[in-house]
Structure formats: C-alpha cells, structure tokens
Structure 1
Amino acid sequence: MNPRVTVVIPVYNEGEAVVRCLDRILREVMLPAEILVVHDMPEDTTVPYARQIAERDPRVRAVLNTYGPGPANAVRFGIDAARAPVAVVTMADGCDDPRQIDDLARLVDRGVVVAAASRYMPGGQQVGGPRFKRMASRWAGRSLRLLARVGTRDATNSFKAYDTAFVREVGIESRTGFEIGIELTAKATRLRLPVAEVPTIWLDRQLGESRFDLGRFLPSYLRWYFFAFGPRLTADQLAARWARVRPAVQPSQDLDKTR
C-alpha cells in the first residue's frame, strides 16, 4: 500500500529514547504511513533501536542523510526521499503529540500546503522550555499572523505537515537549524498559498538536553521572519530562486543502501 503520509524524524544519538517516540507514532497514526528516521552517520546510537523496530513494523526505516550534517539537512533529505504526497516533520524528543499527525496530514489532503501544529491558538499550550524562547516564539507567531497574514499563530514550530510537491518546487534553503518551519510558511505566504493550523500541547523534553541554541539560530529565523512580509511571488520566481542555490546531491533512489 502506498503511504499517504511520510513522517520525517531527524535524529542525533537519541539511543534507546527513540523507541518510545516510535512506539507512540506507530500506535497513534492511523493513515497508511512510512516513518523515516533520518540520521547523519551510520554509527548514530539511534540506528540499532530504529532497526529493531523496523524488523517488526515495515513502516519504519532508518535512512542515512547524505546532504550534510544537521537537522535542516536531515529534514530536507527526508522530504526529498518521501514517497507520500504529505510529509510531517516531528522531533524524536517526545515534545510533539503524534495523535495530531493524521489531522495535519488531512489538512494538506484538503488543499493547504503547510499545516501547523499551533501552541498559540485556542486549545494549544506550551509546557516548559526557556522563558525567553517561549516569549520570542509567541511574539513572532502573533505578529506574523496579524501583520503578514501567514495563516498560523505558530510559524516557528517545527511540527508541521507539508505538501511534498510544494516543498520540492520551492526548496529548502535553511542549513543551520530548525528554521525550516518558518521558511516554508513564509514561502507559502509569499505565493498566497493556504496555510492552516490545529491546536497542540507541546511538552518540553523530559530526557536528554535540547540542542537548540537560540543565539546561534536567531539570525536565520529573523531572515525568514522578514521574508514573509515581501510582495507576492510567483511559483516560477521561487523555483528560479531555488535553482540558483540548490545543491547537486540528491537522496539515493534505493533507500535500502542508505540504512
């Protein structure tokens, strides 16, 4: 059966902690799905545990990111490798609610190109996390919705579903971190394509330490924040922009070779 949704999970030495994440996703996702555990190196501690689960459930595959290290490249690789028309990006740290993957995917099925899990709409909530990061994210989301009309109160959240054809057309230029969510939301806004949201409750990770460094990633976030306010663009203009910066490397067509 062809998958209707590809779940992309970038990982970095999650070890046994990934088991709980994958078990929850496999339990909660009802749509025909493939789950790509995207790692940067064969010796990543996540890989043995992902392969154990893959042996009993063929929906799971551990795939080696060949685009370069870091979460942005892992997400870009995963979406390019996706077999489904919808890709949902979620983290391996347990912060996101897998029960909403189906809802996000169905919004894309209905015609939106970006469906956001929103912490800041009615019914949503953010539990834990650094105070300044929470304040900055909430302010960015509200101002983008009110002033740039981006269609979501939570443009910075990484937990989103995307029309894979849309992503492949406009490309992902982010290279440093988790700003892909705001980049693709901003591009959809400039194209005047629909963006929607569903409420989510985000929980700060309970195990391990976050590798999110706001000081390091802030310039990239600001770049895409201001990009959202520009004039309308055509699909050809964004495609031409992507063609200028697009790397030559593409994911292997035989993902078994990337395990």
Structure 2
Amino acid sequence: MSELAAGPRPAPVDGHLPATPRVSIVIPAYNEAEHIVPALDRIFEAVQLAAEVLVVVDSVDDTTVPVIELYQRAEPRLRWLHNTYGRGPANAIRYGIDAARAKVAVVTMADGCDDPQQVDDLVRLVERGVAVAAASRYMPGGAQVGGPLLKGVLSSLAGRSLRTFARIGTRDATNSFKAYSTDFVRQVGIESRAGFEIGIELTAKARRARLPVAEIPTIWLDRQQGVSNFKLAQWIPKYLRWYFFAYGRPITLSALAARESNEKD
C-alpha cells in the first residue's frame, strides 16, 4: 500500500467523504474529458446503493481531471486518483481497487459502453458470497452492439469455451465490467500490468481457487465518440495466458498471492 499513499487523493469539495460505501466504482480514464460526463450522469442516476466513484488517471495533466473537479462540486461521491503504479489501464484498475473503501469494487469504463443499471445487482451477488460477478454479453438477455467484429468473435469464443470446458461460471470472462470482492482481490493479487486482461485474470483465479463466479446479462454498446484504447493484437497473448491458466488444478489463495508477490519482484 506504500505506492498508493504516494499518489494524490483529492477529497470532495465539502472536505469529507460519505459513510463507508457498499460499492467502489473504479473507472480508468485516459483523456476522456469530452465523454466521461454522460457516463457519470448515468452512473449516479442508476446506482441506488451507497457508492464512491473513483476515476483513475495516469497523469495529473490528463484532460479528464478538470472535468472531474468541476463535477465534484455537486457530487461528493466522486473522486479522481492519480495512478502511480505505472501507465495503462491495468495499472489504473489495480490502483483504483487498492484505493477502494468498499468491500465490493465494480470496474466500468469511462466511455459509457457499460450499463450502470447492472451495478446494484452485481454488488448484491458479491455480497451473497461470489468472488466475481460478471456482466455477461453472451448469456440469454445479453448483447454486444457494435465494436470490432474480430474482437467480438474472439471474446465470445473464449467466454463460451471457458464456461463449457473450464466451468468458469460465466460466458463472458473477458468483459471488464465486473464486480469483485475486494478481500478476494487483495488476497490473490493482480498480476496484469498492461491492458484490460484483469477481468479474465481474476475470473480464472477465482476458478482455480474454486470460489464461486456468477453472471447477469448486460447489453454492451460500443462507444459513440472518441477512439477506444483497446489494443487487440498487443493484448491477445496476455488474454491467452489467463485463458489457459483457468484450466489448471485447484490452487490455494496463498499460492495465488505468492504468484503476485513474485510478479512485483
């Protein structure tokens, strides 16, 4: 946690945070000044549980920061965090989950592609005992609208095969829109350092630890403005690493934690 303490963690304008929230919503952002406000509006409209929303940026000069500071004046549940773990979405998500005050963390995107109406239900699944609750595009009632065809096909094949053959508990292991028990995440650690493969990593770790994973349907909409930071060719090998990891024998939480410690070394 020493790295976390080194980063600035601005408080809301009124100088205090609300009571301990039931959910910490973590949003990695990179120059999303033009797009994040509608996403935040939908989150604060849809989420009924006590929440804190943590927007995590890699630089204090990120264009998202002034927008968040302005939004904070009317919304004390919102904070921005300066990620000091290293650049990229994986490190931003790691930093956000480490900063989370709630027992449940939900990861969602700044571009509004995820449906915040699912947040409360995802949180309640974790509170009932699952380690990972996934918003699934590939189960009945779910859908993916838009987005690159190849990315969608590969994601669907990976998710469905993992559920069928590895019995991983969800048809959408690759989706970033998930809720996690923060105790579980802090026990097993996060090894990802590059892209959005954290979603499949933590789902695979839950499976190897024989902890429950659940899913609910969601409708994912491709971003309408701006350019996605998803780098398919660069990140496929990292997804494959965790895809095959999910098929291994049962492993203890302490052994999973040791892996993450080795990654830091």
TMscore range, shorter length: over 0.9
Gaps of 5+ in 1: 248-259
Number of aligned residue pairs: give it. Answer: 247
From 229, 232, 238, the equivalent of 2:250 is: 232
Deviation at 1:171, TM superposition (A): 0.6
Summarize deviations over 1:152-201 as a string: whole Å, max 9, x none.
Answer: 00000000000001001111101110000000000000000000000000
- The separation in 2 between residues aligned to 1:176 and 1:182, in whole angstroms, is 13
2:145 aligned with 1:127: yes
Q: Paired residue for 1:100, among 118, 137, 141?
A: 118
- Are 1:142 and 2:150 an aligned pair? no
Looking at structure 1, the residues matched to 127 and 32 of structure 2 have their Cα atoms a distance apart, in angstroms, of 31
> TM-score scaled by structure 2?
0.92
| Distance in 2 separating the partners of 1:113 and 1:155 | 13
Which residue among 20, 23, 45 is the counterpart of 1:27? 45
Residue 82 of structure 2 is matched in structure 1 by 64
- Letter matched to residue 42 of structure 1: V
Distance in 2 (alpha carbons) for counterparts of 1:16 and 1:243: 38
- In 2, the alpha carbon distance for the partners of 1:204 and 1:55 equals 30
2:183 corresponds in structure 1 to 165
> Following the alignment from structure 1 to structure 2, what is the Cα–Cα distance between the partners of residues 245 and 126?
34
- Give the superposition deviation at 1:246: 3.0
Partner residue in 1 for 2:13 = none
Letter in 2 for 1:142: R
- The offset of 1:54, in angstroms, is 1.0
Cα separation, 2, equivalents of 1:200 and 1:31: 19
- Confirm or deny: 8 A CA contact 1:171 1:246 kept in the other structure: no
User: Root-mean-square deviation (CA), in Å?
Assistant: 0.8
| Identity fraction in percent | 67
Give how far 1:119 is off. 0.2
Looking at structure 2, the residues matched to 16 and 222 of structure 1 have their Cα atoms a distance apart, in angstroms, of 33
Unaligned runs of 5+ in 2: 1-18
Aligned counterparts of 1:210 and 1:152: Cα–Cα separation in 2: 25
TM-score by length of 1: 0.94
SS in 2 for 1:77: helix
Return structure 1 stretches of 4+ with deviation > 4 angstroms: none
Q: Supply the distance in 1 between the matched residues of 2:258 and 2:58 (Cα, whole angstroms).
A: 29
1:179 to 169, 191, 197: 197
Q: How much does 1:213 deviate?
A: 1.3
- Conservation of the 8 A alpha-carbon contact between 1:7 and 1:90: yes
